[in-house]
Structure 1
Amino acid sequence: MSWLHPDVEVRRSAIEGSGLFATRPIPAGTVVARLTGTLVSTAELLRLLDSATEYVDTIAIDDDQHLVLPPGQPIHFGNHSCDPSMWHVDASTLATRRDLAIGAELTVDYASQTTESAFRMDCRCGTATCRGVITGDDWRQVDFQGHAVPAVLRQSPA
């Protein structure tokens, strides 16, 4: 089971459906989530996705390793933002990127978690830096400042 900081709860989100929100102030650099699940290879992931009847939440952990998050976890409600309030400190740990006030939504840049070129998603984050469309190739144009999963960092320009 993935761990979520006790000062984070699921609420209705203006970005999409439900989201994760701070119930108390959370300082920058605070670990807010530790992701767990099943590690699978790319081939196993493709087979899983091909036979899935429900959404499968995954992140790229390494070049040929993907973490399949268990269904029903609150972390599934973490929405994307092009100006995220949390980022990766390692492959399976997320920390706040800046101080968060009560009621702030905890978001992550989905492009920091995938190397799959075919990934494409319309963005509705509404931030000043919104890219409009998120793709698996965004690592080529976005500076993740060292805060992405290892597979993405290895592909990023030095």
Structure 2
Amino acid sequence: MMRWTYEAECWLTSSARPRLSSIHGTGLFAIKRIRQDEVVMRLGGRVIGDETLARLTPPYSSLTGVEAWSMACRCDTPLCRRVVTGHDWRLSRLQAAYGTHWSPPLLERIEATSVVGDQPE
């Protein structure tokens, strides 16, 4: 038997249950008639603004070490470099700012490499 748990802020009607689906992994299935105006599910959590989201979203530069990769950044934060690259993990100022908050492979590279100063961007 499958066991389902939900965050305290989440809610699911007693008229439906999640279970395995042959269409897409897990589905929500009615176990009794659902009224047209009945709320079936509420996902919990709290609403956050863009500023909070920016603090919670990991920077792309902490996720990839593909040297040829780059993308334009339009986050418009005061410290924005306007471009994110696959060699950003080499920048000592980012290493200091992110601490150990890098993808595991990049953290291994950082720990194995002694970076004296920033590499050219």
The verdict on a shared fold, with TM-score over 0.5 as the criterion, is no
Greater helix proportion: 2
| Structure with the higher strand share, 1 or 2 | 1
The structure whose RCO (Cα within 8 Å, separation 6+) is larger is: 1
Q: TM-score, normalised by structure 1?
A: 0.35
Asked which structure has the greater CA Rg, the reply is 2
